[in-house]
């Protein structure tokens, strides 16, 4: 999803900072191939120092930070099983990345957005918050916390001209991160009004809307992008 956002925003004229715990060179190359300017930064978003360095790199390269998309998450390494069998280590790491990481990234970009009097923060949550998906209590709880954090930050940062919203995707299969069997995908598809597998590109329109001027009066909201599976 992150790569899809980067390419779409680059095509819309945004300069891109690709931030990842892994190597960013391929993603940066794809953004440049799409006609955009981009840099890559190695970041562990659970580290305050890494987030401060990320914000500094963005400003150093492009002068401003206009949009932050908090897409990084601890998911592919989570273990699915009964709630009382989740290890404390895995529970803590999930919240360390998915909640503390989002908070820290917001903290790092905030002074720059506050100084310029504008900014768009887009946090990525999950439809699992509303399904109560069995087997991932730590992941579901962490993504639910993002929705609450978004609402809180929208109230606090609104006077600074900064909007904060959440986008919640449904199941988007990614075999390279976590295999999704066909039966599970079709079960999810059957519950949608639009009967097909969701793709990363299905998220792009909502992201572009929230990153653009047309959403300047929209804040504190959670947008479900799920093919009509259900509403809040």
User: What tens digit of pLDDT does each residue of 144-190 get?
Assistant: 999 999 999 999 999 999 999 999 998 887 766 555 666 777 888 88
**What is the average pLDDT score of the chain?**
91
Q: pLDDT band for position 119 (50/70/90)?
A: very high
Tokens of 12: 């819309």
Residue 210 has pLDDT above 70, yes or no: yes
The residue among 179, 224, 226, 176 whose CA lies nearest residue 198 is 226
Q: What's the pLDDT score for residue 134?
A: 79
Is there a domain that residue 207 lies in? yes
Q: What's the pLDDT score for residue 184?
A: 73
In the residue annotation, 74 being an active-site residue is answered as: no
The residue among 74, 77, 76 whose CA lies nearest residue 94 is 74
pLDDT over 90, % of the chain: 69
Q: What's the pLDDT score for residue 214?
A: 96
Cβ neighbour number for residue 33 with a 10 Å cutoff: 11
Question: What is the chain's Cα-based Rg?
Answer: 17
Residue 47 has pLDDT above 60, yes or no: yes
- The count of domains in the chain is 1
Cβ neighbour number for residue 190 with a 10 Å cutoff: 9
Q: Could you tell me which residue, 81 or 209, shows the higher pLDDT?
A: 209
The pTM of the full predicted model, rounded to 2 decimals, is: 0.93
Of 74, 110, 139, 209, the catalytic one is 139
Is there a domain that residue 163 lies in? yes
SS (H, E, C) 2-54: HHHHHHHHHHCCCCEEEEECCCCHHHHHHHHHCCCCEEEEECCCCCHHHHHHH
Q: Could you tell me which residue, 176 or 216, shows the higher pLDDT?
A: 216
Is there a domain that residue 29 lies in? no
- Please report, for the domain that includes residue 107, its CATH number: 3.40.50.720
Tell me which residue has tokens 């006609």: 35
Mean pLDDT of all residues in 26-36: 94
Range of the domain at 94: 66-225
Mean pLDDT of all residues in 192-199: 87
Q: pLDDT band for position 88 (50/70/90)?
A: very high
User: What tens digit of pLDDT does each residue of 52-87 get?
Assistant: 999 999 999 999 999 999 999 877 777 788 888 889
Q: pLDDT band for position 118 (50/70/90)?
A: very high
Question: In the 8-state DSSP scheme, what is residue 179?
Answer: -
The residue among 146, 163, 144 whose CA lies nearest residue 220 is 163
Is there a domain that residue 100 lies in? yes
What is the helix, strand, coil percentage profile of the chain, to 5? 50, 15, 35
pLDDT over 70, % of the chain: 95
Q: pLDDT band for position 215 (50/70/90)?
A: very high
Q: Is 135 exposed, middle or buried (0-12, 13-18, 19+ CB in 10 A)?
A: middle
Mean pLDDT of all residues in 27-56: 96
Q: Which helix (H) or strand (E) element contains residue 113?
A: helix 101-116
Is there a domain that residue 177 lies in? yes
């Amino acid at each position: 999803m992150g790569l899809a956002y980067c390419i779409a925003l680059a095509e819309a004229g945004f300069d891109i900072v690709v931030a990842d715990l892994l190597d960013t060179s391929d993603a940066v190359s794809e953004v440049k191939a799409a006609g955009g300017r981009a840099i890559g930064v190695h970041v562990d978003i659970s580290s305050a120092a890494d987030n401060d360095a990320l914000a500094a790199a963005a400003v150093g390269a492009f002068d401003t930070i206009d949009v932050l998309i908090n897409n990084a998450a601890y998911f592919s390494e989570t273990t699915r099983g009964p709630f009382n069998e989740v290890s404390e280590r895995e529970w803590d790491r999930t919240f360390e990345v998915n909640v503390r990481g989002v908070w820290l990234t917001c903290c790092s970009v905030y002074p720059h957005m506050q100084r310029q009097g504008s900014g768009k923060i887009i946090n990525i949550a999950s439809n699992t918050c509303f399904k109560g998906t069995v087997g991932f209590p730590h992941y579901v709880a962490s993504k639910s916390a993002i929705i609450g954090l978004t609402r809180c930050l929208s109230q606090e940062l609104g006077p600074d001209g900064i909007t904060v919203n959440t986008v919640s995707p449904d199941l988007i299969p990614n075999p390279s991160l976590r295999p999704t069997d066909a039966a599970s995908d079709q079960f999810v598809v059957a519950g949608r009004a639009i009967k097909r597998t969701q793709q990363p590109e299905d998220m792009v329109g909502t992201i572009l809307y929230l990153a653009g001027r047309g959403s300047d009066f929209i804040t504190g909201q959670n947008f479900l992008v799920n093919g009509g599976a259900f509403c809040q």
